[in-house]
Amino acid sequence: MERDRFNGVIALLLVVVALAAMAEVVAGRQAATTVEAPRVSSAEALLRLGDEARARGDVSAARRAYLAGLFRARGEGSLPDVLRAAEGFAALGDDAVVEQALAIAAPLAAGADPATRARLASLEKAAP
């Protein structure tokens, strides 16, 4: 009788362990199929952070985000994002960085559409 009770407890524990193992497998599969949030890595995302920081009055955070966005845009060869960074620096009154951004934009302007070239021309006229 005592041995039957012991065997019943062991069987129950084995069932619990098996269920726990199956739950971990199922949870692991769900975790593997879960889509992670995109990381802030593109120039556009960095420039958006700069716009948000400027809107809340955090000039130093805006400057850091615009600068990172400018270099990322240069690396991506994105004239619109280089111009957006230049516009952000212009809004901050940082004319020296606007000039540098325009220098980065110049080689990218060759294949630009008319609207983007107009933005570039507008920034060049406004630059000191």
Q: 61 with 95, same domain?
A: yes
The pLDDT, as a whole number, for residue 84 is 95
Tell me the per-residue pLDDT of 55-114, one tens digit each, with 9 for 90 and over.
Answer: 999 999 999 999 999 999 999 999 999 999 999 999 999 999 999 999 999 898 888 888
| Same domain for 81 and 24 | no
Q: Are residues 48 and 29 in the same domain?
A: no
Indicate if 47 and 102 belong to the same structural domain.
Answer: yes
CA distances from 30 to 18, 27, 113 (A): 19, 5, 45
Structural domain of residue 48, as residue ranges? 43-126
Q: Are residues 27 and 81 in the same domain?
A: no
DSSP assigned state of 58: -
CA distances from 125 to 94, 102, 119, 128 (A): 15, 11, 10, 8
Q: Within this chain, do residues 26 and 80 fall inside the same structural domain, yes or no? A: no
47 and 19: one domain?
Answer: no
Domain shared by 24 and 58, yes or no: no
